Structure 1
Amino acid sequence: MSSKTKFLASFTKFPLHNLQQYRTIAKVRLKWVKNRSLDHIIDVQTDLKAACLIKDAIIRSPTGYLTSKSLLDSQKLLGLTVPTMRFIRRYPSLFEEYPHPKYPSLACFKLTQLGKMMQEMEMRVFEECEGDIVERLCRVLMMTKNKMLPLQSLHPLKWDLGLPDDFDRSLIKKYPDHFRVGFQEGKSRSRVPHEFPKGLRCTKEGESMDGRVSKVALHFSVHEDSRGIDPDSELMEKRLVGVLHEFLGLTIYKKTKRNYLRCLREELNLPHKFTRIFTRYPGIFYLSLKCKTTTVALREGYRRGRLVDPHPLARHRDKLYYVMRTGLIYRNKAADMLTHLNNVVDNVEDNAGEEESDEEEIEAGNEYYDSEAEIGSDED
């Protein structure tokens, strides 16, 4: 067997001779190439996410507005590559600027009429998808060692997992049979009962491609206790691919920031330098360096530059992004905008689906972009 090609055993607690059929995945050292379509999506959604975070902060504010002073140091928190004030002024259809009631020289920002209407639509989407959101959070918690996660690790993932802004106060309290919040070692943690909610499946079967290797079924059980597995074994690597595949599959956009996954390393029982797995399996995962951060995405979640199966919340966010891009045209004509918003966004999505991917073909070979050199250190 070649040193460059190894085979991974099926992850199961039963002996292999008891299985009627199993398949293996070949590891091939592959070239990492840019995918312009995915990079563009990540670039667009960076602005969309920042706008949503500002919108939610305005809604949380007891005054109903944010001052320019309170926004000055928020650029890094919002993940922006431009100053926050310059960013928020780009979208007058969503944010309205006006002088402070007591200090005229201090700029304030509130939601426009159209912004408020979009927020009401978002709340209806959350209500309609509440069952899916609960199941999504249950799945994440069931993947962890102790079926719990620190709330400070979940909060940065709200956008990616499609959780409402106040999930820790409303959603968790609404489902006491599913969740409870407690304190352990001074940290607030969200827990889930040991039994799954009705209808929640414990295993997942997915399909993936690894370069020139043909599609194979990837069987794994991400809910099994993995603490007894040798961390350097191929079995642990198979589990690692499965856990990361499962987690990314639970996100709305089938992607998240690499640093967010690092915050879950202990709870998910991941090895110290687990993110190197992304460059060893470039047919399954894609790493993007857009917007001065590293984002990891599931390739199978996208086709021709768009989500294969967009979540209702993702569709709503597409509409919100369209509102952001309209500028001043509909700022004072919110009702006119909403009457044809669905048709406009659907047409934009259809056109996007016709675009071909700008990604080069991935080929196996001796040339390989090392994860430390091209994708960034595992410690960044």
Structure 2
Amino acid sequence: MIFKDKSFLLLPQRLTSHAQFELQQWRGITKVRLKWVKNKSLDHIIDTETDLKAACLLKDAIKRSHTEFLTAKSFAEWQKLLGLTVPVLRFMRRYPTLFEEFPHARYANLPCFRLTDTARLLDSQEQSIHQSHENDTVERLCRVLMMMRSRTVPIQSLHSLKWDLGLPDNFEKVLVPKYPDHFRFVKNSNGVVSLRLVQWHEEFAVSALQRSNEIREMGNEYRQFKRGQTALAFPMNFPRGYGAQKKVKAWMEEFQKLPYISPYEDSRHIDPSSELMEKRAVGVLHEFLSLTIHKKTKRNYLRSLREELNIPHKFTRLFTRYPGIFYLSLKCKTTTVTLKEGYKRGKLVNPHPLARPREKFYHVMRTGLLYRGKGVNFLSQQDILLNDMNNEGKGEEEEEEEIDEREIVTDDECYAETSELENESDEEE
């Protein structure tokens, strides 16, 4: 990365005046050619958790039904909504330990599905964790709203993100009304209902990157950052071989030296085309992914919040431009972005309490798939309550990475993507 004037790197970290912002509005030119690298370990996690998420959403849909079951006709059009690559009926029949099939009382040829006792037990464990960690959920939801320009998020966007953010299924009914000093519903001029933050919570306005550096007790380096004398670096985990490349190393060193702008700080006075704004956008995406339970989400969900988050229109380029921070996957016919530091050897580094019942849920799914035909009572309650479940395929000794021939040029003036990535534009679908 080439900078005409590096004097701005010495400016205080916590920018408080318009003049300080204006001094840093310079856009450098970077030309570092990288190849897209396939991470088999993360792709496997995305593949398995896509099925897990779909099963959990179907479980919640059955619970919401006043009949406590769903007919095959009612979910026939849900395949794309659930992110599945197979019809929903076939998917539900795969997992008899969760979904019990029976004929409709009036229409014998109409398949119906209700929850098994095993699924109900797993759900009760999940609801118990939601209740015991409600304060954490409220804080996480506040942080999401605090990152938004208007401190509001459409309810529909939150519904898409509720599984990723660990929100209860009916959060707008059981969670939001309990905290009127934190949230309230508003209706926009276009009739869209949104959730708004009632008041700013300064104690929440500390990013995950700031907290992790403080917890690690980095001594003099972190104290210098707090005084505004140094930048705050993002953890980097480059694909194999990239970290040793001189051009990549020099580029990342210059990027890390740029001042870190918290995603909770006002960014209106930063030049949208500056390197500083790009690092701020990386910080916003880093923080948002840090707030998710599995440190990943779909690109389309981020797209719906792009303007509120004040990130570039073509923000997908940030994921491919910084492969040491993010991993972009094309598994399951969608685009998923993962925070790489959230995983080590195929497992979450700091798993949220909700991750545990989800692991059990997936274990029961796999058991039902492997032992179909032995009935829904194959698993006992003791099996479900055991703490040492096998995490099939999730603990590889090493994260496998495979160089792909899809070449990426990490420069906005000279940026090229080929093959599938070229077709994954940031235009509205």
Normalization by structure 1: what TM-score? 0.87
Q: Which amino acid aligns with 1:34?
A: K
Tell me the residue number matched to 1:91: 95
- Gap change, CA 1:340 and 1:167, over 3 Å in 2: closer
Aligned pairs for 1:38-77 (under 5 A) are 38-77=42-81
From the superposition, tell whether residues 366 and 80 of structure 1 become closer, same or farther in structure 2 (CA, over 3 Å): closer
SS of the equivalent of 2:306 reads: coil
Q: Specify the code of the residue in structure 1 equivalent to 2:82.
A: L
Map of 1:182 onto structure 2:
186
Contact 1:34 1:359 in 2 (8 A): yes
Q: Bigger CA drift: 61-70 or 100-109? A: 100-109
Q: Match for residue 297 of structure 2?
A: 256
The answer to whether structure 1 residue 377 and structure 2 residue 377 are counterparts is: no
Corresponding residue to 1:274 among 315, 335, 358: 315
* Structure 1 SS opposite 2:35: coil
Name structure 1 gaps, 5 residues minimum: 19-24
Q: Is the 8 A contact 1:8 1:238 kept in 2?
A: no
- Contact 1:284 1:299 survives alignment (8 Å): yes
Distance 2:129 2:268 in 1: 39
SS in 2 for 1:138: helix
C-alpha contact 1:133 1:163 (8 A) present in aligned 2 = yes
Instruction: Answer yes or no: is 1:359 the counterpart of 2:401.
Output: yes
2:352 equivalent to 1:304: no
Correspondence 1:316-327 to 2 at 5 A: 316-327=357-368
Aligned residue pairs: how many? 366
SS at match of 2:173: coil
Aligned counterpart, 2:216: none
* Residue 366 to residue 53, structure 1, CA distance change in 2 (3 Å): closer
Residue 15 (structure 2) aligns with: 13
Counterpart secondary structure, 1:300: helix
Identity %: 56
**Contact 1:156–1:260 under 8 Å retained in 2:** yes
Report the Cα distance in structure 1 between the residues aligned to 2:357 and 2:44, rounded to whole angstroms. Answer: 19
Residue type of the alignment partner of 1:132 = D
Partners of 1:143 and 1:31 in 2: how far apart?
32
Q: Deviations over 1:337-358 (max 9, x none)?
A: 545532224xx37x84352111
> What amino acid is the match of 2:64?
R
Q: Which amino acid is 2:66 matched to?
A: P
Cα distance, 1:367–1:248 mapped onto 2, change above 3 Å: closer
Kindly provide the CA deviation profile for residues 267-298 of structure 1, in whole angstroms up to 9, marking residues without a partner as x: 11122112211111111110000000000011
Structure 1 pair 123–7 and aligned structure 2 pair: CA distance change class (3 A): farther
Distance 2:375 2:330 in 1: 34
Q: Distance in 2 between matches of 1:366 and 1:74?
A: 35
Residue 153 (structure 1) shift: 1.1
CA distance 1:238–1:163, shift in 2 (3 Å) = same
Report if aligned partners of 2:182, 2:199 keep a CA contact under 8 Å in 1: no
Equivalent residue, structure 1, for 2:273: 232
Which residue is 1:293 aligned to?
334
For residues 215-267 of structure 1, the C-alpha deviation after alignment (integer angstroms, 9 at most, x for no partner) is 85883311122223221111111111110111011101111000110000111
Relative to structure 1, the CA distance from residue 341 to residue 314 in structure 2 (aligned partners, 3 Å threshold; closer, same or farther) is: same
Q: Using a 3 Å threshold, how does the CA distance of structure 1 residues 106 and 353 change in structure 2: closer, same or farther?
A: closer
Provide the rounded CA distance (Å) in 2 between the counterparts of 1:288 and 1:64: 36
Q: Which moved more, 1:299-308 or 1:28-37?
A: 28-37
* TM-score using structure 2 length: 0.78
Structure 1 residues 36 and 101, CA gap change in structure 2 (3 angstroms)? same
Q: Match for 1:332: what amino acid?
A: N
> Is 1:193 matched with 2:235?
no
Matches within 5 A, 1:319-338: 319-327=360-368, 328=372, 329=374, 331-338=376-383
In 2, distance between residues paired with 1:61 and 1:114? 18
Which of these residues, 356, 372, 377, is aligned with residue 315 of structure 1?
Answer: 356
**Cα distance change on mapping 1:60 and 1:339 into 2, 3 Å:** closer
Q: Determine the structure 1 residue equivalent to 2:218.
A: none
Distance 1:377 1:26 in 2: 22
CA RMSD, Structure 1 to Structure 2 (Å):
3.0
